[in-house]
Amino acid sequence: MRPPGNDGVTLRATVKRSLADVGLLEPGRQLRDKLRAITWLPHNRRYLSRAGSNGLPIPPARLRLLTTASPSIEWFMESGRAGADAIRNLLAEHNLLLSRQARLLDFGCGCGRVLRHWAGEGVAVEGCDYNPELIDWCRDRLPFATVATNRLEPPLPYNRAHFDLVYALSVFTHLPEPLQRPWAEELGRVTALGGHLIVSTHGAAYRGALTLDERAHYDAGHLVVKNAAEPGSNRCGVYASPDAVRQTFSPWFMVRAHVPQGASGNPPQDLVLLRRTPTEAAAPKGRPA
């Protein structure tokens, strides 16, 4: 007998495979997204008339959907503000202040959901993303920031120890296991010694989304990955316990704080503060010095 609740999952998977086989899965998703965007138009207009856009352009619904899975302007704006505030608050709790000379990197900046909320703060703001369309939008409309395109695999186009602070919100949550440690090492390369990295993770709050076998794997300190064939997309989900986080980022970073559900801009993800530690490894071959 099949376990209760499996029928719906099996049916959805069968329908997705059938649509993919005839080339209709992606067009179907695009049509669904367009219809969702239309239904949100009245709400978006009301929000803009009430709250405004903080003086910066707002990306179109298609790009908002790519980065937040929602066409809501309110969610795009308020979750981005909450994400930036969560970073500021975590730094303040550990007596870490960004100086006027500080360099900050938004790794996986998308179309500037969090990045836009650093405008006017006096720090050098940079961002990167592997989606060139999102970077083109930021480059044209968020002139206070310097942005660049990266690939799904390292390296980044920055010199060693270039940044004082790097943050990656809802990025490692979508990178399958073969990409996790290479990116941890690369972020270690571009972060100054004594600098900090802040990442969000799918932590214990997501255990309910895991099967019994996946929970056991998670509890044993291993990464759990769903839909690894779609790396970098919202459809690829990665779940990491505190032990798995430490293993992923060692020896390049040391965990200073792990806050359950602390990523208020990406609820209910955890927020992790890591400090760049000394390592003896030289810059990997083929990467910027």
pLDDT digits (tens, 9 = 90+) for 177-213: 999 999 999 999 999 999 999 999 999 999 999 999 9
DSSP category for residue 262: -
Structural domains of the chain, with CATH: 75-276 (3.40.50.150)
pLDDT digits (tens, 9 = 90+) for 96-153: 999 888 999 999 999 999 999 999 999 999 999 999 999 999 999 999 999 999 999 9
d(CA 179, CA 202): 16
For residue 180, what is the enclosing H or E element?
helix 177-190
Strands ordered across the beta sheet of 191-201: 146-149, 124-129, 103-107, 163-168, 191-201, 270-276, 253-259
**pTM of the full structure:** 0.87
How close are the terminal C-alpha atoms of the chain, in Å?
59
If one counts every other C-beta atom within 10 angstroms of the C-beta of residue 8, the result is 8
